[in-house]
């Protein structure tokens, strides 16, 4: 039994005729009849009963063909995951941290694509450690990560150990946000001690690579009040 024989049997069932099935399969009727007989011999059952009026599907044949169609369907789905013979297909799978500016950038990129062509996009929102793992495992083509500069060496080492390539996109600094009437608004130069009594808004992803694994570390900040966000 082979996959081609299963396809032959399913086509015969669909057409209800050896002759029509052979025509649809662009092969001679004797060759198709021989292939069906070989299939029946290999599985040890009669799938099609030959009658003066044509062919009939046996009870065991119906059960067998039901399984055969499921097998062929799964094979088609599996093959579709790896088909690269369509140069016009637009596809991208990307893992990113949860943040509005990355989502906006992805939306802007998507608007440049040709909607008349086949399109397949995966946009996975996760944390930086998982984004690296998804790319390393081949589940995503591309990943975007963000981290504090004091953790940069750990992230770059993790990326190198997983045989990935990276490039810096953007660097930004923390911002002290306050009303114009705030007591610190007119302070010429702020330090962390000045902010220790106020609320600090932090990104909630505190994982950093450590010995090949993610390690939860607290932020080294003097502030006693924190709001952790994931956007």
Instruction: Indicate the pTM of the whole model.
Output: 0.52
Dist. CA 121–CA 114, nearest whole Å = 13
On the question of pLDDT at 216 being above 70, the answer is: no
CA gyration radius, the chain: 31
Determine the pLDDT at residue 218.
46
pLDDT in tens, 22-75: 888 888 889 999 999 999 999 999 999 988 888 899 999 999 999 998 888 888
Count of other CB atoms within 10 angstroms of residue 28: 11
Dist. CA 117–CA 88, nearest whole Å = 7
φ/ψ of residue 148, rounded to 5: -75, 150
Separation in Å, CA 124 to CA 10, 87, 120, 205: 38, 24, 13, 15
Count of other CB atoms within 10 angstroms of residue 45: 14
Please list, in sequence order, all residues whose beta carbon lies within 8 angstroms of the beta carbon of residue 73, skipping any fewer than 6 positions away: none
More confident position, 109 or 206: 109
On the question of pLDDT at 215 being above 70, the answer is: no
Please list, in sequence order, all residues whose beta carbon lies within 8 angstroms of the beta carbon of residue 75, skipping any fewer than 6 positions away: 3
pLDDT in tens, 147-200: 888 888 989 999 988 888 999 988 887 778 889 999 898 888 888 788 888 887
Determine the pLDDT at residue 211.
43
Please list, in sequence order, all residues whose beta carbon lies within 8 angstroms of the beta carbon of residue 49, skipping any fewer than 6 positions away: 55, 56, 57, 58, 61
Determine the pLDDT at residue 82.
63
pLDDT in tens, 64-121: 999 998 888 888 767 666 655 566 778 888 998 888 888 888 889 888 888 888 888 8
Separation in Å, CA 67 to CA 6, 9, 37, 45: 10, 12, 18, 14
Angle at 17 between CA 12 and CA 21, to 5 degrees: 50
């Amino acid at each position: 039994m082979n996959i081609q024989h299963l396809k032959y049997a399913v086509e015969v069932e669909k057409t209800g005729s050896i002759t029509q099935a052979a025509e649809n399969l662009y092969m001679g009727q004797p060759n198709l009849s021989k292939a069906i007989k070989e299939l029946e011999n290999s599985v040890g059952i009669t799938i099609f009963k030959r009658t003066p009026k044509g062919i009939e599907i046996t009870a065991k044949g119906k059960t067998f063909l039901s399984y055969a169609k499921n097998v062929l369907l799964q094979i088609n789905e599996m093959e579709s995951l790896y088909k690269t013979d369509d140069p016009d297909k637009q596809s991208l799978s990307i893992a990113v941290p949860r943040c509005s500016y990355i989502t906006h950038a992805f939306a802007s990129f998507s608007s440049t694509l040709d909607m008349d062509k086949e399109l397949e996009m995966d946009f996975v929102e996760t944390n930086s450690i998982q984004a690296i793992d998804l790319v390393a495992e081949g589940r995503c083509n591309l990943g975007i990560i963000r981290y504090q500069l004091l953790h940069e060496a750990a992230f770059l080492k993790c990326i190198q150990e997983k045989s990935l390539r990276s490039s810096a996109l953007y660097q930004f600094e923390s911002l002290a946000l306050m009303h114009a009437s705030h007591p610190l608004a007119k302070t010429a130069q702020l330090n962390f001690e000045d902010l220790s009594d106020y609320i600090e808004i932090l990104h909630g992803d505190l994982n950093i690579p450590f010995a090949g694994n993610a390690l939860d570390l607290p932020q080294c900040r003097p502030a006693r009040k924190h709001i952790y966000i994931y956007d």
